[in-house]
Amino acid sequence: MRIANLLKIAYRSLAKNKLRVLLTMLGIIIGVASVIAMLAIGEGSKENIQASMAGLGTNSVMIYPGSVNQGGVRMGAGSYSTLTVADVEAIMSKCEFTTDVSPVVSKSSQVIAGNQNWHTMTVGAWGNYFSIRALNIAKGNFFSQTDERTAAKVCVIGQTVSTNLFGENTNPVGMYIRINSIPFRIIGLLEVKGQNTFGQDQDDIIIAPFSTVMKRMLSTLYLNSILASATGPDDMDKAKESITAIMRMQHKLTPVDQDDFTVRSQADIANIFGSISKVLSILLASIAGISLLVGGIGIMNIMLVSVTERTREIGIRMAVGANGTDVLLQFMIESVFISFIGGTIGIVLGIGASEAVALLGGWPVVITIQSIVISFLFSTAIGVFFGWYPAHKAANLNPIDALRYE
Protein backbone atom coordinates (compact mmCIF):
# COMPACT_ATOMS: atom_id res chain seq x y z
CA MET A 1 0.00 0.00 0.00
CA ARG A 2 2.65 2.43 1.08
CA ILE A 3 4.95 1.38 -1.76
CA ALA A 4 2.06 1.68 -4.20
CA ASN A 5 1.49 5.23 -2.97
CA LEU A 6 5.17 6.04 -3.28
CA LEU A 7 5.15 4.71 -6.84
CA LYS A 8 2.20 6.97 -7.53
CA ILE A 9 3.99 9.96 -6.01
CA ALA A 10 7.16 9.27 -7.99
CA TYR A 11 5.17 8.77 -11.17
CA ARG A 12 3.32 12.06 -10.69
CA SER A 13 6.46 14.06 -10.11
CA LEU A 14 8.22 12.44 -13.09
CA ALA A 15 5.21 13.11 -15.29
CA LYS A 16 5.53 16.80 -14.46
CA ASN A 17 9.08 16.93 -15.86
CA LYS A 18 8.84 14.84 -19.00
CA LEU A 19 11.52 16.60 -21.02
CA ARG A 20 14.03 16.62 -18.21
CA VAL A 21 13.37 12.96 -17.44
CA LEU A 22 13.82 12.13 -21.12
CA LEU A 23 17.09 14.01 -21.37
CA THR A 24 18.39 12.33 -18.25
CA MET A 25 17.33 8.99 -19.62
CA LEU A 26 19.22 9.70 -22.82
CA GLY A 27 22.53 9.10 -21.06
CA ILE A 28 21.41 5.69 -19.89
CA ILE A 29 19.73 4.90 -23.20
CA ILE A 30 22.90 5.61 -25.16
CA GLY A 31 25.02 3.77 -22.62
CA VAL A 32 22.93 0.62 -22.60
CA ALA A 33 22.37 0.68 -26.35
CA SER A 34 26.08 1.01 -27.03
CA VAL A 35 26.97 -1.77 -24.57
CA ILE A 36 24.54 -4.08 -26.33
CA ALA A 37 25.54 -3.07 -29.83
CA MET A 38 29.26 -3.27 -29.08
CA LEU A 39 28.97 -6.67 -27.44
CA ALA A 40 26.80 -7.88 -30.31
CA ILE A 41 29.31 -6.70 -32.89
CA GLY A 42 32.21 -8.19 -30.93
CA GLU A 43 30.42 -11.49 -30.51
CA GLY A 44 29.44 -11.42 -34.17
CA SER A 45 33.01 -10.93 -35.34
CA LYS A 46 34.11 -13.79 -33.10
CA GLU A 47 31.55 -16.09 -34.65
CA ASN A 48 32.44 -14.78 -38.09
CA ILE A 49 36.06 -15.74 -37.56
CA GLN A 50 35.07 -19.14 -36.27
CA ALA A 51 32.75 -19.69 -39.21
CA SER A 52 35.35 -18.73 -41.80
CA MET A 53 37.91 -20.89 -40.06
CA ALA A 54 35.50 -23.76 -40.29
CA GLY A 55 35.09 -22.93 -43.98
CA LEU A 56 38.83 -23.31 -44.44
CA GLY A 57 38.59 -26.72 -42.89
CA THR A 58 39.03 -26.66 -39.14
CA ASN A 59 40.90 -29.93 -39.16
CA SER A 60 43.56 -28.81 -41.56
CA VAL A 61 47.23 -28.77 -40.66
CA MET A 62 49.72 -26.82 -42.71
CA ILE A 63 53.42 -27.51 -42.99
CA TYR A 64 55.57 -24.66 -44.21
CA PRO A 65 59.28 -24.71 -44.98
CA GLY A 66 61.16 -23.19 -42.07
CA SER A 67 64.40 -21.36 -41.70
CA VAL A 68 67.64 -23.24 -42.21
CA ASN A 69 71.00 -22.89 -40.65
CA GLN A 70 73.70 -22.74 -43.28
CA GLY A 71 77.10 -22.60 -41.67
CA GLY A 72 75.87 -20.49 -38.81
CA VAL A 73 73.87 -18.13 -41.02
CA ARG A 74 70.19 -18.47 -40.17
CA MET A 75 67.78 -17.63 -42.92
CA GLY A 76 64.28 -16.39 -42.29
CA ALA A 77 61.18 -18.54 -42.24
CA GLY A 78 60.33 -20.00 -45.65
CA SER A 79 63.64 -18.85 -46.97
CA TYR A 80 64.71 -22.23 -48.02
CA SER A 81 63.01 -25.00 -49.84
CA THR A 82 62.96 -28.04 -47.62
CA LEU A 83 59.68 -29.73 -48.39
CA THR A 84 59.46 -32.43 -50.99
CA VAL A 85 56.93 -34.92 -52.26
CA ALA A 86 58.85 -37.55 -50.30
CA ASP A 87 57.83 -35.73 -47.11
CA VAL A 88 54.21 -35.89 -48.21
CA GLU A 89 54.46 -39.59 -48.84
CA ALA A 90 56.18 -40.12 -45.47
CA ILE A 91 53.41 -38.31 -43.62
CA MET A 92 50.81 -40.26 -45.58
CA SER A 93 52.27 -43.60 -44.72
CA LYS A 94 53.45 -43.00 -41.15
CA CYS A 95 51.13 -40.50 -39.51
CA GLU A 96 48.06 -42.12 -37.96
CA PHE A 97 46.34 -38.84 -37.13
CA THR A 98 45.99 -37.52 -40.64
CA THR A 99 43.47 -38.61 -43.24
CA ASP A 100 44.42 -36.65 -46.35
CA VAL A 101 47.74 -35.10 -47.26
CA SER A 102 48.46 -33.03 -50.33
CA PRO A 103 51.51 -31.16 -51.59
CA VAL A 104 50.88 -27.55 -52.50
CA VAL A 105 52.80 -25.47 -55.01
CA SER A 106 51.68 -22.14 -56.32
CA LYS A 107 52.65 -19.61 -58.88
CA SER A 108 51.09 -16.31 -59.58
CA SER A 109 50.91 -15.48 -63.24
CA GLN A 110 48.99 -13.72 -65.98
CA VAL A 111 46.02 -15.69 -67.29
CA ILE A 112 44.58 -15.03 -70.74
CA ALA A 113 41.24 -16.04 -72.22
CA GLY A 114 40.28 -14.62 -75.61
CA ASN A 115 40.81 -10.87 -75.41
CA GLN A 116 40.67 -10.76 -71.59
CA ASN A 117 43.46 -11.27 -69.10
CA TRP A 118 43.77 -11.45 -65.32
CA HIS A 119 46.55 -11.87 -62.82
CA THR A 120 45.94 -14.62 -60.33
CA MET A 121 47.39 -17.46 -58.30
CA THR A 122 47.60 -20.95 -59.73
CA VAL A 123 47.74 -23.67 -57.11
CA GLY A 124 48.97 -27.13 -57.94
CA ALA A 125 47.72 -29.85 -55.62
CA TRP A 126 46.35 -33.35 -55.51
CA GLY A 127 42.68 -34.08 -55.85
CA ASN A 128 42.23 -34.45 -52.08
CA TYR A 129 43.16 -30.73 -51.69
CA PHE A 130 39.52 -29.89 -52.31
CA SER A 131 38.25 -31.98 -49.43
CA ILE A 132 40.97 -30.78 -47.01
CA ARG A 133 40.12 -27.16 -47.75
CA ALA A 134 36.40 -27.89 -47.82
CA LEU A 135 36.05 -26.58 -51.37
CA ASN A 136 32.95 -27.55 -53.31
CA ILE A 137 32.39 -27.57 -57.02
CA ALA A 138 29.53 -25.52 -58.47
CA LYS A 139 29.76 -26.65 -62.08
CA GLY A 140 31.79 -29.34 -63.80
CA ASN A 141 34.13 -31.70 -61.99
CA PHE A 142 37.27 -31.93 -59.87
CA PHE A 143 40.25 -33.34 -61.68
CA SER A 144 40.83 -37.07 -61.54
CA GLN A 145 43.72 -39.40 -60.66
CA THR A 146 44.35 -39.78 -64.38
CA ASP A 147 44.68 -36.02 -64.83
CA GLU A 148 47.26 -36.07 -62.03
CA ARG A 149 49.16 -39.01 -63.47
CA THR A 150 49.25 -37.63 -66.98
CA ALA A 151 49.88 -34.04 -65.90
CA ALA A 152 46.79 -33.09 -67.88
CA LYS A 153 46.37 -29.45 -68.79
CA VAL A 154 43.06 -29.04 -66.94
CA CYS A 155 42.08 -26.73 -64.14
CA VAL A 156 39.30 -25.72 -61.75
CA ILE A 157 38.77 -21.98 -61.36
CA GLY A 158 37.15 -19.71 -58.78
CA GLN A 159 34.23 -17.43 -59.48
CA THR A 160 36.32 -14.24 -59.46
CA VAL A 161 38.61 -15.58 -62.15
CA SER A 162 35.62 -16.70 -64.19
CA THR A 163 33.92 -13.32 -63.91
CA ASN A 164 37.04 -11.43 -64.90
CA LEU A 165 37.81 -13.60 -67.87
CA PHE A 166 34.38 -14.54 -69.15
CA GLY A 167 32.02 -11.98 -67.62
CA GLU A 168 29.09 -12.47 -65.26
CA ASN A 169 26.83 -15.53 -65.43
CA THR A 170 28.89 -17.41 -67.97
CA ASN A 171 29.57 -21.08 -67.52
CA PRO A 172 33.34 -21.34 -68.04
CA VAL A 173 33.41 -25.14 -67.96
CA GLY A 174 34.84 -26.44 -71.21
CA MET A 175 36.50 -23.14 -72.14
CA TYR A 176 40.23 -22.72 -72.55
CA ILE A 177 42.55 -20.32 -70.78
CA ARG A 178 46.25 -19.79 -71.16
CA ILE A 179 48.42 -19.76 -68.05
CA ASN A 180 52.03 -18.88 -68.80
CA SER A 181 51.17 -19.41 -72.48
CA ILE A 182 50.12 -22.97 -71.74
CA PRO A 183 46.51 -23.70 -72.72
CA PHE A 184 44.41 -25.25 -69.94
CA ARG A 185 40.89 -26.63 -70.26
CA ILE A 186 38.53 -25.56 -67.50
CA ILE A 187 36.80 -28.62 -66.09
CA GLY A 188 35.18 -27.13 -62.98
CA LEU A 189 33.97 -23.93 -61.31
CA LEU A 190 34.30 -23.61 -57.53
CA GLU A 191 31.43 -22.61 -55.30
CA VAL A 192 31.64 -18.99 -54.15
CA LYS A 193 33.38 -18.73 -50.77
CA GLY A 194 33.75 -14.99 -50.44
CA GLN A 195 36.44 -13.27 -48.42
CA ASN A 196 38.25 -15.03 -45.66
CA THR A 197 38.88 -13.51 -42.22
CA PHE A 198 41.91 -11.67 -43.50
CA GLY A 199 40.06 -10.05 -46.35
CA GLN A 200 41.55 -12.29 -49.04
CA ASP A 201 39.27 -13.20 -51.91
CA GLN A 202 39.06 -16.98 -51.74
CA ASP A 203 37.47 -17.14 -55.18
CA ASP A 204 40.44 -15.58 -56.94
CA ILE A 205 42.21 -18.88 -57.54
CA ILE A 206 42.99 -21.48 -60.18
CA ILE A 207 43.64 -25.04 -59.05
CA ALA A 208 45.39 -27.45 -61.38
CA PRO A 209 46.80 -30.95 -60.89
CA PHE A 210 50.01 -30.98 -58.86
CA SER A 211 52.07 -32.75 -61.51
CA THR A 212 50.90 -30.32 -64.20
CA VAL A 213 51.97 -27.21 -62.29
CA MET A 214 55.15 -28.89 -61.07
CA LYS A 215 56.33 -30.13 -64.48
CA ARG A 216 54.85 -27.70 -66.96
CA MET A 217 54.99 -24.42 -65.03
CA LEU A 218 57.58 -24.53 -62.26
CA SER A 219 60.16 -27.24 -63.01
CA THR A 220 61.17 -27.48 -59.38
CA LEU A 221 61.35 -30.28 -56.82
CA TYR A 222 60.37 -28.30 -53.77
CA LEU A 223 56.92 -27.55 -52.40
CA ASN A 224 55.46 -24.32 -51.13
CA SER A 225 53.65 -26.13 -48.36
CA ILE A 226 51.99 -29.37 -47.41
CA LEU A 227 48.36 -29.44 -46.47
CA ALA A 228 46.94 -32.23 -44.35
CA SER A 229 43.73 -32.88 -42.52
CA ALA A 230 43.68 -34.34 -39.05
CA THR A 231 41.42 -37.24 -38.10
CA GLY A 232 39.34 -34.99 -35.91
CA PRO A 233 39.31 -31.57 -34.20
CA ASP A 234 40.54 -33.18 -30.96
CA ASP A 235 43.47 -34.85 -32.68
CA MET A 236 45.02 -31.62 -33.91
CA ASP A 237 47.79 -31.51 -31.33
CA LYS A 238 48.59 -35.22 -31.74
CA ALA A 239 48.67 -34.75 -35.51
CA LYS A 240 51.03 -31.80 -35.17
CA GLU A 241 53.35 -33.73 -32.86
CA SER A 242 53.34 -36.79 -35.05
CA ILE A 243 53.99 -34.76 -38.21
CA THR A 244 56.84 -32.92 -36.51
CA ALA A 245 58.45 -36.22 -35.49
CA ILE A 246 58.07 -37.70 -38.96
CA MET A 247 59.41 -34.57 -40.62
CA ARG A 248 62.44 -34.41 -38.35
CA MET A 249 63.24 -38.01 -39.19
CA GLN A 250 62.63 -37.38 -42.87
CA HIS A 251 64.99 -34.39 -42.85
CA LYS A 252 67.53 -36.31 -40.76
CA LEU A 253 67.67 -33.67 -38.06
CA THR A 254 69.65 -34.46 -34.91
CA PRO A 255 68.10 -33.57 -31.53
CA VAL A 256 70.17 -30.37 -31.36
CA ASP A 257 69.03 -29.15 -34.76
CA GLN A 258 66.09 -26.80 -35.00
CA ASP A 259 63.07 -27.68 -37.12
CA ASP A 260 63.57 -26.61 -40.73
CA PHE A 261 59.79 -26.48 -41.17
CA THR A 262 56.79 -25.09 -39.34
CA VAL A 263 53.61 -26.99 -38.53
CA ARG A 264 50.55 -24.89 -37.97
CA SER A 265 46.93 -25.84 -37.56
CA GLN A 266 43.92 -23.84 -38.54
CA ALA A 267 42.93 -23.83 -34.86
CA ASP A 268 46.13 -21.96 -33.94
CA ILE A 269 45.25 -19.16 -36.30
CA ALA A 270 41.66 -19.23 -35.15
CA ASN A 271 42.81 -18.91 -31.56
CA ILE A 272 44.95 -15.90 -32.33
CA PHE A 273 42.10 -14.17 -34.06
CA GLY A 274 39.69 -15.28 -31.35
CA SER A 275 41.82 -13.60 -28.72
CA ILE A 276 42.17 -10.47 -30.83
CA SER A 277 38.42 -10.21 -31.18
CA LYS A 278 38.04 -10.87 -27.45
CA VAL A 279 40.36 -7.99 -26.63
CA LEU A 280 38.38 -5.90 -29.08
CA SER A 281 35.10 -6.87 -27.41
CA ILE A 282 36.43 -5.95 -23.98
CA LEU A 283 37.69 -2.65 -25.33
CA LEU A 284 34.38 -1.81 -26.95
CA ALA A 285 32.41 -2.88 -23.89
CA SER A 286 34.53 -0.80 -21.57
CA ILE A 287 34.07 2.28 -23.73
CA ALA A 288 30.34 1.62 -23.68
CA GLY A 289 30.54 1.02 -19.93
CA ILE A 290 32.13 4.42 -19.45
CA SER A 291 29.26 6.04 -21.32
CA LEU A 292 26.88 4.19 -18.98
CA LEU A 293 28.80 5.59 -16.03
CA VAL A 294 28.56 9.08 -17.47
CA GLY A 295 24.84 8.50 -17.89
CA GLY A 296 24.66 7.55 -14.23
CA ILE A 297 26.44 10.73 -13.20
CA GLY A 298 23.89 12.57 -15.33
CA ILE A 299 21.15 10.99 -13.23
CA MET A 300 22.85 12.04 -10.02
CA ASN A 301 23.31 15.55 -11.34
CA ILE A 302 19.65 15.90 -12.26
CA MET A 303 18.47 14.33 -9.03
CA LEU A 304 20.63 16.72 -7.00
CA VAL A 305 19.26 19.68 -8.92
CA SER A 306 15.81 18.27 -8.46
CA VAL A 307 16.29 17.89 -4.69
CA THR A 308 17.42 21.51 -4.39
CA GLU A 309 14.66 22.77 -6.64
CA ARG A 310 12.06 20.77 -4.77
CA THR A 311 13.23 21.51 -1.25
CA ARG A 312 9.98 23.33 -0.51
CA GLU A 313 7.98 20.46 -1.93
CA ILE A 314 9.90 18.10 0.36
CA GLY A 315 9.07 20.41 3.27
CA ILE A 316 5.38 20.33 2.36
CA ARG A 317 5.42 16.56 2.09
CA MET A 318 7.09 16.29 5.46
CA ALA A 319 4.63 18.73 7.01
CA VAL A 320 1.70 16.59 5.91
CA GLY A 321 3.26 13.43 7.27
CA ALA A 322 6.02 12.08 5.02
CA ASN A 323 8.93 10.68 6.99
CA GLY A 324 12.56 10.48 5.89
CA THR A 325 12.12 7.01 4.44
CA ASP A 326 9.18 8.14 2.31
CA VAL A 327 11.21 10.97 0.83
CA LEU A 328 14.25 8.71 0.37
CA LEU A 329 12.18 6.09 -1.40
CA GLN A 330 10.41 8.66 -3.57
CA PHE A 331 13.70 9.97 -4.94
CA MET A 332 15.17 6.48 -5.22
CA ILE A 333 12.13 5.30 -7.14
CA GLU A 334 12.45 8.29 -9.45
CA SER A 335 16.10 7.63 -10.24
CA VAL A 336 15.66 3.87 -10.54
CA PHE A 337 12.67 4.46 -12.77
CA ILE A 338 14.73 6.75 -15.03
CA SER A 339 17.51 4.19 -15.33
CA PHE A 340 15.09 1.25 -15.59
CA ILE A 341 13.05 2.77 -18.40
CA GLY A 342 16.21 4.20 -19.94
CA GLY A 343 17.74 0.74 -19.79
CA THR A 344 14.72 -0.85 -21.45
CA ILE A 345 14.67 1.73 -24.24
CA GLY A 346 18.44 1.29 -24.52
CA ILE A 347 18.08 -2.45 -24.96
CA VAL A 348 15.51 -2.02 -27.71
CA LEU A 349 17.66 0.64 -29.37
CA GLY A 350 20.81 -1.45 -28.97
CA ILE A 351 19.17 -4.44 -30.61
CA GLY A 352 17.89 -2.16 -33.36
CA ALA A 353 21.34 -0.65 -33.88
CA SER A 354 22.92 -4.10 -34.00
CA GLU A 355 20.39 -5.25 -36.57
CA ALA A 356 21.02 -2.10 -38.57
CA VAL A 357 24.76 -2.81 -38.54
CA ALA A 358 24.06 -6.35 -39.64
CA LEU A 359 21.75 -5.19 -42.40
CA LEU A 360 23.65 -2.18 -43.73
CA GLY A 361 27.21 -3.19 -43.00
CA GLY A 362 26.78 -6.84 -43.84
CA TRP A 363 28.55 -7.51 -40.57
CA PRO A 364 27.30 -10.43 -38.54
CA VAL A 365 26.02 -9.49 -35.08
CA VAL A 366 25.11 -11.84 -32.28
CA ILE A 367 23.00 -10.44 -29.45
CA THR A 368 23.49 -12.57 -26.39
CA ILE A 369 21.04 -12.81 -23.50
CA GLN A 370 23.96 -12.16 -21.14
CA SER A 371 24.72 -8.79 -22.67
CA ILE A 372 21.08 -7.76 -22.26
CA VAL A 373 20.86 -8.98 -18.67
CA ILE A 374 24.20 -7.44 -17.73
CA SER A 375 23.50 -4.03 -19.20
CA PHE A 376 20.01 -4.02 -17.73
CA LEU A 377 21.18 -4.92 -14.23
CA PHE A 378 24.05 -2.50 -14.57
CA SER A 379 21.81 0.40 -15.54
CA THR A 380 19.39 -0.33 -12.71
CA ALA A 381 22.29 -0.55 -10.28
CA ILE A 382 23.43 2.83 -11.57
CA GLY A 383 20.01 4.23 -10.73
CA VAL A 384 20.26 2.91 -7.18
CA PHE A 385 23.87 3.95 -6.76
CA PHE A 386 23.64 7.45 -8.15
CA GLY A 387 20.12 8.05 -6.85
CA TRP A 388 20.99 7.24 -3.28
CA TYR A 389 23.04 10.31 -2.46
CA PRO A 390 20.51 12.92 -3.62
CA ALA A 391 17.67 10.91 -2.08
CA HIS A 392 19.54 10.64 1.19
CA LYS A 393 20.19 14.36 1.11
CA ALA A 394 16.48 15.05 0.62
CA ALA A 395 15.44 12.63 3.35
CA ASN A 396 17.69 14.24 5.93
CA LEU A 397 16.26 17.72 5.44
CA ASN A 398 14.70 19.27 8.50
CA PRO A 399 11.01 19.89 7.70
CA ILE A 400 11.05 23.46 8.93
CA ASP A 401 14.24 24.32 7.01
CA ALA A 402 12.82 22.73 3.89
CA LEU A 403 9.59 24.70 4.21
CA ARG A 404 11.41 27.98 4.67
CA TYR A 405 13.74 27.33 1.71
CA GLU A 406 13.42 29.98 -0.98
Q: How far apart are CA 220 and CA 197, in angstroms?
A: 31
Distance of CA 237 to the CA centre of its chain: 24
Alpha-carbon dihedral 221, 200, 265, 257, rounded to 10 degrees: 50
Q: Give 218's DSSP letter.
A: I
Nearer to other proteins, 9 or 165 (CB): 9
> Cβ 20 to other proteins, closest distance in Å?
13
Cβ neighbors of 98 (< 8 A, separation 6 or more) are 61, 91, 92, 228, 229, 230, 231, 239, 242, 243
> Cβ 392 to other proteins, closest distance in Å?
14
Q: Report residue 177: phi and psi, to 5°.
A: -130, 160
> Cβ 304 to other proteins, closest distance in Å?
20
DSSP 132-158: HTT--EEEE----HHHHHTT-SEEEE-
> Cβ 286 to other proteins, closest distance in Å?
41
- Judged by the rule CB under 8 A, the positions of this chain that interact with other proteins are 1-2, 4-6, 8-9, 12, 16, 312-313, 315-326, 398-400, 403
Nearer to other proteins, 316 or 357 (CB): 316
Nearer to other proteins, 1 or 19 (CB): 1
> Cβ 24 to other proteins, closest distance in Å?
18
Taking each helix axis from N to C end, the angle separating 369-395 and 18-55, rounded to the nearest 10 degrees, works out to 160
Residue burial 139-151, b: 16+ Cβ < 10 Å; e: rest: bbebbeeebbeeb
> Cβ 315 to other proteins, closest distance in Å?
8
Nearer to other proteins, 5 or 141 (CB): 5
Nearer to other proteins, 6 or 382 (CB): 6
Nearer to other proteins, 268 or 313 (CB): 313
